[in-house]
Chain A
Amino acid sequence: MSERTLIDARGAFCPGPLMELIAALKAIEIGEEVEVLSSDKGSADDIPEWVAKVGHEMVGVEEKGDHWSVVVRRAK
């Protein structure tokens, strides 16, 4: 299983969770993953768009009660 960094961005509005994700991706190695917890629905929609645009890999998006878990693998 890939190494995974957890970012708890619950309570932050767009584009806070995305910016936190990007900072975390820059700090890990290719193939490793970041899991972002976000209570912002817009970010749960936007992060996959961003991932597709820049060429990383979506592992999954899951709604967990009052927040979303978004997992991204660094691909480049």
Chain B
Amino acid sequence: MSDKPLYILLVSGEREKLQMAAMTASVAAVSDRPTEVFVSMNAILSFKRGLPPEERYPEGGGFFAAQFAKASAKGGTPDAVDLLAQGRMLGGVKVWACAMVLDMLGWEDDDLTEDLFDGRLGLTKFLADAESGDLVSF
């Protein structure tokens, strides 16, 4: 695995994409790869402070999403938001909230999941930072 920094644009509200982004970020970070996540668009809705895990992810999304949600409900699958928090705690993942989407929603920093975000950031700064590494989006 490369040590090149990994930058993840997380924009989808689809459960499987949130899950895969959280898995990718946390595993990369604990494997000594500097990792930053920029959360924007529909994805930010799963990070509303105080949402219980069963309300974090939208229903729908097709056959796979339904099967995945069913399997997750049985337990054993790490919750995406909790997994990202683990990645931050154990591997130092940096998590940024898109400044534009916060403004659009009228959210303040304390509307976001507690102790997860490093702050709000503009896309221009994130993209400039991402020039030093690999950029993937979910």
Contacts and interface: CB of A to CB of B under 8 A. Distances in A.
B32 interface: yes
Given A22-B90, A23-B90, A15 B77 contact: no
A15 B31 contact: no
Interface range for A:
10 to 19
A15 B90 contact: no
Given A11-B75, A22-B90, A26-B90, A54 B83 contact: no
Interface string A38-56: 0000000000001001100
Q: How large is the interface on B (under 10, 10 to 19, 20 to 34, 35 or more residues)?
A: 10 to 19
A15 B91 CA distance: 13
A75 interface: no
Nearest to A39: B76
Contacts of A26: 90
A53 B31 CA distance: 7
A15 B32 contact: no
Contacts of A14: 23
Contacts of B46: none
Nearest to B78: A16
A66 to B, nearest CB: 14
Contacts of B98: none
A19 interface: yes
Given A16-B77, A19-B86, A54-B30, 16 more contacts: A14-B23, A15-B78, A15-B83, A16-B76, A18-B27, A19-B30, A19-B83, A19-B90, A22-B90, A23-B86, A26-B90, A50-B30, A53-B1, A53-B31, A53-B32, A54-B32
Interface of A: 11-16, 18-19, 22-23, 26, 50, 53-54
20 contacts: A11-B75, A11-B76, A12-B76, A12-B78, A13-B76, A13-B77, A14-B23, A15-B27, A16-B77, A19-B26, A19-B78, A19-B83, A19-B90, A23-B90, A26-B90, A50-B27, A50-B30, A50-B31, A54-B30, A54-B32
